[in-house]
């Protein structure tokens, strides 16, 4: 069975390698836009579905795995900052607060579909303004939802995570492993 990861995320690729299933990477290049959604989970699952289906349409004999991760502060989704100003504003808004991170997944093949989400709460301590400005000048924030990676520079300001820490990283590892294992046994 040909398994495709519809993501160019280095972290997702690393975690897929750790799971031990053969796969290849075909990044989705679709616009990440959803007109309406019912919940945070619904939004990330719709985005994951859009990505998976765009790759599946060109690879109909494969199992395609699509993912999306968003940070939600007071229910408002935070995407990836586009410049230093957005990064500073985004990280400052998260400083000293609790926010939610949700990762959605969508798996599709010619005879199978599945979707699920995983979320957690992230508690962040106050981040000094100088540290935020220093951070905004690095490359790290610009390809990450909410502008940070729990395992990166901002990780030193994370007090605790309630829930699956892999959701923050964008790949609920245990859930993906279980779903892929079941799929592989049946196919």
Element (H, E) at 5: strand 3-5
Q: What's the angle, vertex CA 14, arms to CA 8 and CA 15, rounded to 5?
A: 105
DSSP 80-120: ---SHHHHHHHHHHHTTSEEEEEEEEEEEETTEEEEEEEEE
Catalytic-labelled residue, pool 2, 42, 68, 74: 68
Count Cα atoms within 13 angstroms, Cβ side, for 38: 3
Residue 93 sits at φ, ψ, to 5 deg, of -70, -30
DSSP 152: S
Burial label for 76, CB within 10 Å (0-12, 13-18, 19+), is exposed
Active site residue 68: yes
Catalytic residues, by residue number, are 68
């Amino acid at each position: 069975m040909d398994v495709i990861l519809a993501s160019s995320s280095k972290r997702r690729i690393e975690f897929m390698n750790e799971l031990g299933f053969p796969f290849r990477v075909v990044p989705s290049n679709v616009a990440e836009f959803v007109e309406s959604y019912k919940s945070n989970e619904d939004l990330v699952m719709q985005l994951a579905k859009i990505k998976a289906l765009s790759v599946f349409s060109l690879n109909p004999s494969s199992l395609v795995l699509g993912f999306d991760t968003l940070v939600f502060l007071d229910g408002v989704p935070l995407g990836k900052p586009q410049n230093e100003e957005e990064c500073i504003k985004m990280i400052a808004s998260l400083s000293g607060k609790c926010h939610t991170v949700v990762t959605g997944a969508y798996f599709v093949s010619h005879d199978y579909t599945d979707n699920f989400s995983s979320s957690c709460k992230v508690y962040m301590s106050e981040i000094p303004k100088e540290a935020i400005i220093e951070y905004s000048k690095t490359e790290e924030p610009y390809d990450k939802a909410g502008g940070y990676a729990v395992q990166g520079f901002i990780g030193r300001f994370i007090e605790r995570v309630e829930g699956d820490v892999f959701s923050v990283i964008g790949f609920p590892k245990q859930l993906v492993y279980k779903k892929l294992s079941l799929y592989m046994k049946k196919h």
